[in-house]
Amino acid sequence: MKSLQQVLNQSVQRITRDDEASKPAPRQCPHCGSLLEPTRVEIFGQVRWGTVTCPCETRAREALEAEKRQRDWLTLCQEFTSRNKLIPNATLGNYRERAGCGNAIKIANNFVDTYTEWKQEQPGLGLYFNGPNGLGKTHLLTGIYKALMSRNISAVFMTTYHMFQRFREVAKVEDYEYERRLLKVLYTCDVLLLDDVGGEVPYDSRAEKLLDVINTRSQKRPIIYSSNFTTQGLEQWMGNQGARIADRILENAITVTLNGESERGLINDRHHDWLAGRVKGIG
């Protein structure tokens, strides 16, 4: 007669054999090829086999998730960009060098090409392109915006007018979710490009918004401005808050002055040449 111990041992062996028979084949990690043996888990006396994830599968999944988050973030930045104010075909590559604007294009190229170094050495330091109409300031900002976005650096291009308008819309409809997204974009995009500062004199409440954006980004993330005004001009133009705005801009951006003949003037000269070819005898 078998002892109780022998009976127990036999049944344990049978269970183990049955367990082994139900064990799934090991799977192979699609990344490094290692064989991943399933793990045995016992739940309420029943044996189950769990699949094992390779560390490189976890890393790959996390990388995919991060990539998706970055894509969504870039889409949000695009959503808030004043796309119809970008100059459609303008790039840094097709900005023609000409007298009075040579420094501006060199600096713009350097900013984009060595953005990581700028960020490390001078976090939050931006540029203030200023000069008369038609010298290609919006062209430069468009070029910088496109170059950064093509490198997956989150950039937002907004005319200052458009930014104020968005703040006004938010206040009117009390859409706090929209406001949250607007502020997230303005505060935390890698590079904010604000076109045509001083194009509109803001009421004090809007000037506060601009100051708030500048202060929040200060020493962290740069703003690149374009303006028809020097910072002194801006100070006078912007009314009560002018001095504070100009002061903050000077503290956080390098002024780059453009001068020379307006590109629009040159374009107009070409229109005249064309017209002279059609209409004979005009002086």
Binding site for Zn ion (CB under 5 A): 29, 31-32, 54, 56
**Among 115, 107, 125, CA closest to 220:** 125
How many residues make contact with Mg ion (CB under 5 A)? 2
For residue 32, the partner it binds in ligand ATP, Zn ion, Mg ion, none, with Cβ less than 5 to 8 A by kind, is: Zn ion
For residue 56, the partner it binds in ligand ATP, Mg ion, Zn ion, none, with Cβ less than 5 to 8 A by kind, is: Zn ion
Residues 138/175, Cβ–Cβ less than 8 Å: no
**130 near Mg ion, rule: CB under 5 A:** no
Residues 179-198 close enough to bind ligand ATP by CB under 6 A: 196
* Residue whose CB is less far from ligand ATP, 134 or 242: 134
For residue 135, the partner it binds in Mg ion, Zn ion, ligand ATP, none, with Cβ less than 5 to 8 A by kind, is: ligand ATP
Which stretches does DSSP call E strand in 35-190?
A: 35-36, 39-43, 46-50, 126-130, 155-159
**126-130 and 155-159 strand pairing:** unpaired
Say which amino acid occupies 24: P
Query: What phi and psi values does residue 145 have, to the nearest 5 degrees?
Result: -60, -50
Sole window of 46-54, 137-145, 167-175, 181-189 interacting with ligand ATP (rule: CB under 6 A): 137-145
Residues 80/158, Cβ–Cβ less than 8 Å: yes
Residue 95 CB, nearest approach to Mg ion (Å): 13
Residue 106 CB, nearest approach to ligand ATP (Å): 12
State the Cα–Cα distance between residues 37 and 21, nearest whole angstrom. Answer: 14
* Residue whose CB is less far from ligand ATP, 66 or 267: 267
**138 near Mg ion, rule: CB under 5 A:** yes
State the Cα–Cα distance between residues 230 and 6, nearest whole angstrom. Answer: 97
Residue 230 CB, nearest approach to ligand ATP (Å): 13
How many residues make contact with ligand ATP (CB under 6 A)? 18
**96 near ligand ATP, rule: CB under 6 A:** yes
* Residue whose CB is less far from ligand ATP, 127 or 182: 127
**138 near ligand ATP, rule: CB under 6 A:** yes
State the Cα–Cα distance between residues 236 and 239, nearest whole angstrom. Answer: 6
Residues 139-168 close enough to bind ligand ATP by CB under 6 A: 139
Residues 128/253, Cβ–Cβ less than 8 Å: yes
> If DSSP codes are grouped into helix, strand and coil, which group holds residue 89?
coil
Say which amino acid occupies 241: Q
Query: What phi and psi values does residue 219 have, to the nearest 5 degrees?
Result: 65, 15
**253 near ligand ATP, rule: CB under 6 A:** no
Q: Looking at residue 220, what DSSP letter applies?
A: T
DSSP string, 139-178: HHHHHHHHHHHHTT--EEEEEHHHHHHHHHHHHHHT-HHH
Residues within the interface to Mg ion (CB under 5 A):
137-138
Residues within the interface to ligand ATP (CB under 6 A):
87, 90, 95-96, 98, 101, 133-139, 196, 226, 228, 263-264
